[in-house]
């Protein structure tokens, strides 16, 4: 009785702080048991919901395994993703310090029958055709496969980065059977990239930053509509919109409490909000642990729809916390800062470090920036960039923080 009285004296804020940690673990364990089944002899659970990927006509699982981790030493993650119906696997030549593709290749070596079930995606930076061919050949060897289902030019900021030489290269690789479909990924200036791609006739799929903070802006809606009309398959990434609820504001408290009452976490709610758009074929999620994998699988299988009140809470949270989120409109701040520092790319590194808690990934991506950009990070005058930033970010302070944390 004394313990019950003590629990009753907990404030709502204390309750949410407690549930935010312990509740997630409990939920994940329950989900893992439910999804995997209690019968140890059961090898594969029912598949996830599937959607067509644009004009490719291929149906893919609505949840994708983001492979930015060491898959060589995490074969269990691949096995569980496969067993639980997550059959869209996304990797790149540099992911996991180069080990991501190798680990997937080892999985296919040990499980050759699984390859036909996996929609396999890898990426490289756009460049000269001969360099891209070399990258693709290396990827195919690591992945232990003769073809990838989708090959993406990684992290473009403008469609001009993939001109006619790459168009011709993609057509030749398709002809040779080394890739089935082609497209690009973009973290920066997403709307402009989508709008420009919709005018082309050779882009099959785009993976782009898309979340509850961005989905309702007029330009994003226009860009998605243009791509849908052109038959381009759309894959969302960075769907958490900058990280977890930290119970710092009343909007966060209200949102967390509302979703807990409905039976899912704020992270699951953010995924479900993206899936509300039927034109998003798949969400690519960084899932380096069974906890995250199992909760995301549960969200994908849960058919509960987001209500108007749920979406309004997300909108309110987005407005109250917009000054802490980089919306990826990098051309604005970069031009205002003289064009020498890719501010939005540095902000993405900070997101990996602070919000994802993945310091190794943050430093890996940061190290991939040009030496000149990293050297000038704390020397540039960001006053104009801060005035131009639609989100009102304290860019100078954030760049100093990035230099200190990531160097």
pLDDT digits (tens, 9 = 90+) for 350-369: 888 887 777 888 888 888 88
Query: How long is the chain?
Result: 407
Identify the domain boundary among 275, 307, 339. Answer: 307
What is the rounded average pLDDT for all residues in the chain? 85
Q: Is there a domain that residue 332 lies in?
A: yes
**Residue 203 confidence (pLDDT):** 98
Euclidean distance between CA atoms 290 and 294, whole angstroms:
6
Residues 337 and 284 in one domain: no
Euclidean distance between CA atoms 43 and 232, whole angstroms:
35
Euclidean distance between CA atoms 347 and 362, whole angstroms:
10
Whether pTM exceeds 0.85: no
Q: Is there a domain that residue 155 lies in?
A: yes
Q: Say which residue, 322 or 57, is predicted with more confidence.
A: 57
**Residue 11 confidence (pLDDT):** 38
Mean pLDDT of the 73-102 span = 94
Boundaries of domain holding 383: 326-406
Mean pLDDT of the 125-129 span = 95
Q: Tell me what percent of the residues of the chain surpass a pLDDT of 70.
A: 86
Q: What is the pLDDT of residues 21-75, one digit of tens each?
A: 333 433 444 444 444 443 334 445 558 999 999 999 999 999 999 998 889 999 9
Residue 15 has pLDDT above 50, yes or no: no
Residues 212 and 149 in one domain: yes
**Residue 386 confidence (pLDDT):** 87
Is the separation of the CB atoms in 287 and 77 below 8 Å?
Answer: yes
Give residues with Cβ within 8 angstroms of 233, minimum separation 6.
Answer: 52, 53, 54, 55, 56, 181, 183, 204, 205, 206, 281
What is residue 405's DSSP assignment? H
Euclidean distance between CA atoms 194 and 356, whole angstroms:
26
Residues 249 and 332 in one domain: no
**Residue 288 confidence (pLDDT):** 87
Number of domains forming the structure of the chain: 2
Mean pLDDT of the 379-399 span = 88
Band of the pLDDT at 7, cuts 50, 70, 90? very low
Residues 297 and 335 in one domain: no
Burial 12-43 (b: 16+ CB within 10 A, else e): eeebbbebbeeebeebbeebbeebbeeeeeee
What CATH number is given to the structural domain containing 174?
3.20.20.100
**Residue 65 confidence (pLDDT):** 97
Q: Is there a domain that residue 192 lies in?
A: yes
Is the separation of the CB atoms in 123 and 185 below 8 Å?
Answer: yes
Q: Of 359, 350, 342, 358, which is closest to residue 325 (Cα–Cα)? A: 350
* Most confident residue range from 310-324, 352-366, 368-382: 368-382
Residue 17 has pLDDT above 90, yes or no: no
Is the separation of the CB atoms in 217 and 185 below 8 Å?
Answer: no
Phi, psi of 379 (to 5 degrees): -100, -20
Band of the pLDDT at 9, cuts 50, 70, 90? very low
Q: Which of 102-111, 198-207, 251-260, 392-401 has the lowest mean pLDDT?
A: 251-260
Q: Of 237, 228, 294, which is closest to residue 265 (Cα–Cα)? A: 294
């Amino acid at each position: 009785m004394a313990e019950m009285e003590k629990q009753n004296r907990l404030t709502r804020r204390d309750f949410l702080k407690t549930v935010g940690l312990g509740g997630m673990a409990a939920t994940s364990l329950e989900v893992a048991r439910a999804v995997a089944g209690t019968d140890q002899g059961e090898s594969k659970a029912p598949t996830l919901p599937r959607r067509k990927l644009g004009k490719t006509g291929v149906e893919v699982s609505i949840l994708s395994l983001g492979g930015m981790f060491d898959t060589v030493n995490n074969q269990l993650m691949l096995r569980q993703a496969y067993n639980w119906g997550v059959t869209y696997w996304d990797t790149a030549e540099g992911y996991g310090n180069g080990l991501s593709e190798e680990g997937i290749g080892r999985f296919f070596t040990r499980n050759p029958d699984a390859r036909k079930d996996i929609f396999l995606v890898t990426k490289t930076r756009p460049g000269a055709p001969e360099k891209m061919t070399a990258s693709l050949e290396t990827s195919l060897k690591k992945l232990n496969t003769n073809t990838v289902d989708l090959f993406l030019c990684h992290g473009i900021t403008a469609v001009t980065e993939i001109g006619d030489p790459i168009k011709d290269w993609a057509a030749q690789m398709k002809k040779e059977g080394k890739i089935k479909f082609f497209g690009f990924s973009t973290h920066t200036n997403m709307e402009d990239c989508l709008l420009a791609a919709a005018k082309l006739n050779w882009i099959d799929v785009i993976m782009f930053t898309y979340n509850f903070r961005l989905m309702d802006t007029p330009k994003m809606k226009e860009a998605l509509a243009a791509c849908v009309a052109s038959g381009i398959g759309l894959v969302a990434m960075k769907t958490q919109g900058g990280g977890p609820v930290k119970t710092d504001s009343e909007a966060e408290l209200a949102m967390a409490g509302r979703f807990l009452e409905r039976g899912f976490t704020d992270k699951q709610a953010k995924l479900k909000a993206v899936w509300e758009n039927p034109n998003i074929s798949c969400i690519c999620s960084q899932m380096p642990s069974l906890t995250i994998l199992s909760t995301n699988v549960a969200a994908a299988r849960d058919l509960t729809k987001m209500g108007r009140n749920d979406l309004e809470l997300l909108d309110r949270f987005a407005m109250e916390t917009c000054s802490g989120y980089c919306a990826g409109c990098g051309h604005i701040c970069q031009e205002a800062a003289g064009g020498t520092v890719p501010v939005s790319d540095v902000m993405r590194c900070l997101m990996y470090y602070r919000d994802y808690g993945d310091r190794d990934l943050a430093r890996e991506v940061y190290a991939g920036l040009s030496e000149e950009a990293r050297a000038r990070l704390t020397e540039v005058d960001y006053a104009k960039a801060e005035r131009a930033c639609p989100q009102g970010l304290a860019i100078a302070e954030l760049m100093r923080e990035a230099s200190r944390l990531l160097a």
